[in-house]
Amino acid sequence: MGAIPVEHGLILAGILFSLGLIGVLTRRNIVFVLMSLEVMLNACGLAFIVAGSRWEQADGQIMFVLILTLAAAEVAVGLGLIIQMYRRFQTVDINVLSELKG
């Protein structure tokens, strides 16, 4: 339709991605870190959709479907890791995972 400028969509995707990145860097609860990763992946999908609607091609939505698949697999593995971590350390604080001393 051309009514919504493509820059605004991309700016929104950038804002959401930055917020997710801030969440990943600042939070110490690993469940919040995983949620922030979801926000970042979602912002990536939003950028693809914006580009796809700008050129009116279906490829943007196909990329979004693939990102959705990736997010589902990532969240399944990540939550399995969280459960395992909680069993071993009885906490979800990622600061306790500092046994690897360089």
Partner 1 sequence: MMLLFYLAAFVAVIATVCVIVQTNIVHALIYLILSLLAVAVIFYTLGAPLAAMLEAIVYAGAIMVLFLFVIMMLNLGQNTREQERAWLAGRGWILPALLAAVLLAQLLYVLSGVEGMSAPEQVGVMAVGARLFGPYVLAVELASILLLAGLISAYHLARKPGAEDE
Interaction of residue 82 with partner 1, rule CB under 8 A: yes
Please identify, using beta-carbon distances, which residue of 70 and 102 lies nearer to partner 1.
Answer: 70
Say how far apart CA 96 and CA 36 lie, in whole Å. 20
Question: What is the x/- site pattern for partner 1, positions 51-70, by CB under 8 A?
Answer: -xx--xxxxxxx-xxx-xxx
Interaction of residue 7 with partner 1, rule CB under 8 A: no
Say how far apart CA 17 and CA 25 lie, in whole Å. 12
Interaction of residue 23 with partner 1, rule CB under 8 A: yes
Interaction of residue 97 with partner 1, rule CB under 8 A: no
Contact 8, 59 (CB under 8 A): no
Contact 54, 10 (CB under 8 A): no
Which amino acid is present at 36? S
Backbone angles phi, psi at 4, to 5 degrees: -95, 120
Binding site for partner 1 (CB under 8 A): 1, 3-4, 8-9, 12, 15-16, 19-20, 22-23, 26-27, 29, 31-32, 34-36, 38-39, 42, 45-46, 49-50, 52-53, 56-62, 64-66, 68-77, 79-84, 86-87, 92
